[in-house]
Amino acid sequence: MKLHANTIAGLAEHLESCQLQVKDTTKITDDHPEMDWDDAYAIQDAILARKLARGARLAGLKAGLTSHAKMKQMGVTTPVFGFITDDYAVPDGGECKISELIHPKVEPEIAFVTKRALKGPGCNIAAVLAAVDFVLPGIEVIDSRYRDFKFDLKSVVADNTSASRFVVGGQPTTLEGVDLRTVGIVLEKNGEPVAFGAGAAVLGHPAAAIALLANHLAASDREIPAGTLILSGGITEAVSVKAGDAVTLRVQGMGSVGMRFI
């Protein structure tokens, strides 16, 4: 750790205030170039602690920047991990208020729910598949607190990987007979298909994102508990949305999920 505990607490407060007050900021490595990975995740943890202290509940975990499309769009090369809280959840078909967000984009994702705990190090796709209860379609709404969505990896980790809203739904599906690599997805905006892909876009197999998350948590002696919802990362580039837009994600064999922006 390179940053003082007070600095970490101050940066967590700053980033969370930007989120709550719907205003953007410069990336924090501009002012704190010495910040390391542990500092970045400590800031993220401090943001979670602030939310829990105010009565929010942890709704799940997320992996991000897990596809080449996303890495290329954001100009980075490694996945990142974050959290989602219950107040980020939008019901399937429900409304998301644009006035509460800075510059939202949507991402088509495959969401996992575990039935057994997953603990690294050494977690792999097979261990993930054995621990999965079901998978289902999910749309993540990302909303970087950084001006023009411009950041480096440590800054985006500190900003809880741009997490802001999500919806899961459709047809929860067990993995027997399902090859997540070849599962096709279509993201529609206002009835028009705007992005297409298949599960393999995420690290060759979306379960690999869950294994990476378990191995990441293991470094601080944590695990993915049984019953955890996990977003495995955008399969395609993120798509900007504005008030009046409706988005639907169709996942092969898993139905569809959607939300409207008002």
Q: Which residues bind ligand OOG (CB under 6 A)?
A: 62, 64-66, 70, 74, 107, 140, 142, 144, 156, 161-162, 233-234
- Minimum Å distance from CB 66 to Mg ion? 8
SS3 assignment, position 257: strand
Q: Of residues 107, 159, 237, 245, which one binds Mg ion by CB under 5 A?
A: 107
Toward ligand OOG, which CB reaches closer, 85 or 119? 85
CA distance 249 to 112: 16
**Angle 37-53/5-21 helices, nearest 10 degrees?**
60
Instruction: Report which of 5, 16, 251 is spatially closest to residue 143, judged by C-alpha positions.
Output: 16
| Contacted by 247, from ligand OOG, Mg ion, none: CB < 5 to 8 Å by type | none
Toward Mg ion, which CB reaches closer, 3 or 84? 84
Is residue 195 within 8 Å of 104, Cβ to Cβ?
no
237 binds Mg ion (CB under 5 A): no
Toward Mg ion, which CB reaches closer, 3 or 74? 74
Residue type, 86: D
Toward ligand OOG, which CB reaches closer, 116 or 150? 150
CA distance 213 to 175: 19
- Closest CB to ligand OOG: residue number: 64
CA distance 66 to 201: 8
| Contacted by 39, from Mg ion, ligand OOG, none: CB < 5 to 8 Å by type | none
Is residue 130 within 8 Å of 115, Cβ to Cβ?
no
- Minimum Å distance from CB 84 to Mg ion? 10
- Minimum Å distance from CB 10 to Mg ion? 27
Tokens standing for residue 193: 């298909």
Interface residue list for Mg ion (CB under 5 A): 64, 107, 140, 234
